[in-house]
C-alpha cells in the first residue's frame, strides 16, 4: 500500500543539506531558480525526520538564491536511515539513464520559441540571432548534428524568416520534414539553400 504523501511548508532556514551529498549541482542552480520563477515551486523537496535534505539540494539552493522564506517538502519518515541513504543515490542516478530524442526535442523547442526563452532553463540553442532557433541541418542524430549561429541585421532576419515561411508551405518541405529531424526551421532553411545551389548548378 502506498502511503499518502503530505506536503509541508518548511522554513528554508530550518532545512539542512546532507553533508556528504556526492552530487555537484552548483552549475544548475541558476536554471532551477529561473524555472521556479517562471512556473512556481512544483516539485517538493524530500526531507528526513530531522529536516535533512534527501532529494532536492539544487531546489534548496535555488530557493535560497530567490530569497524564499519557505518551500514545499515531503517527509520520508517511513524510510530507514539506510533506505534514505540508498534513495538519495538512486534518485540522482536514475536520471543519468535517460536520453533525449533529438527529433522530438527540436520540434518541442520550435513550438515554444519565441514565447519561452529556453536558454534560461539550460538549453543551449546556439544562436543570438533575431529569431532564436538552432539550425540542426543534419539528420537529427546527436552524433551528426551541427549547430550554426548567425548575427543578422533586422532586414536580413526578416528576409530569411520570409523565405523559411514560404518554404514551409511547399510539398517538398512537408515530405522532407516527415523523413528527417524535427527542427522545422532548420529543415526549411536547408531546403531554401539547397534549391538556390541547384539553380546555380543548372545555370
Digitized pLDDT (tens) for each residue of the chain, 203 residues in all: 455 679 999 999 999 999 998 888 898 999 999 999 999 999 999 999 999 999 999 999 999 999 999 999 999 999 999 999 999 999 888 877 777 787 788 888 888 888 888 888 888 765 444 444 444 444 444 445 566 666 667 788 788 888 888 888 888 888 887 766 567 788 888 888 888 888 887 65
Backbone angles phi, psi at 172, to 5 degrees: -60, -45
Task: Give the helix ranges, DSSP H, for the chain.
Answer: 29-39, 57-65, 81-94, 102-112, 154-168, 171-179, 184-202
Residues 193/150, Cβ–Cβ less than 8 Å: no
- How far apart are alpha carbons 155 and 111 in whole angstroms? 24
CA distances from 195 to 25, 100, 132, 165, 199 (A): 46, 31, 23, 15, 6
- How far apart are alpha carbons 184 and 164 in whole angstroms? 9
This prediction has a pTM of 0.60
CA distances from 8 to 11, 70, 126, 157 (A): 10, 10, 40, 50
Query: For residue 182, what is the DSSP state?
Result: S
Amino acid at each position: 500500500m502506498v502511503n499518502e504523501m503530505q506536503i509541508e511548508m518548511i522554513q528554508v532556514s530550518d532545512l539542512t543539506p546532507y553533508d556528504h551529498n556526492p552530487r555537484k549541482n552548483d552549475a544548475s542552480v541558476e536554471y532551477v531558480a529561473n524555472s521556479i520563477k517562471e512556473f512556481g515551486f512544483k516539485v517538493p523537496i524530500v526531507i528526513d525526520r530531522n529536516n535533512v535534505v534527501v532529494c532536492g539540494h539544487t531546489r534548496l539552493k535555488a530557493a535560497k538564491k530567490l530569497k524564499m522564506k519557505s518551500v514545499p517538502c515531503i517527509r520520508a519518515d517511513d524510510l530507514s536511515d539506510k533506505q534514505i541513504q540508498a534513495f538519495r543515490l538512486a534518485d540522482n542516478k536514475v536520471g543519468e539513464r535517460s536520453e533525449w530524442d533529438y527529433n522530438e526535442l527540436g520540434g518541442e523547442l520550435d513550438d515554444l520559441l519565441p514565447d519561452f526563452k529556453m536558454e534560461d532553463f539550460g538549453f543551449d540553442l546556439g544562436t543570438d540571432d533575431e529569431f532564436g532557433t538552432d539550425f540542426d541541418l543534419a539528420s537529427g542524430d546527436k552524433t551528426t548534428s551541427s549547430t550554426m549561429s548567425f548575427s543578422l541585421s533586422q532586414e536580413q532576419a526578416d528576409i530569411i524568416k520570409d523565405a523559411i515561411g514560404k518554404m514551409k508551405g511547399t510539398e517538398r518541405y512537408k515530405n522532407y520534414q516527415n523523413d528527417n529531424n524535427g527542427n522545422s526551421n532548420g529543415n526549411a532553411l536547408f531546403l531554401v539553400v539547397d534549391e538556390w545551389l541547384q539553380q546555380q548548378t543548372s545555370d
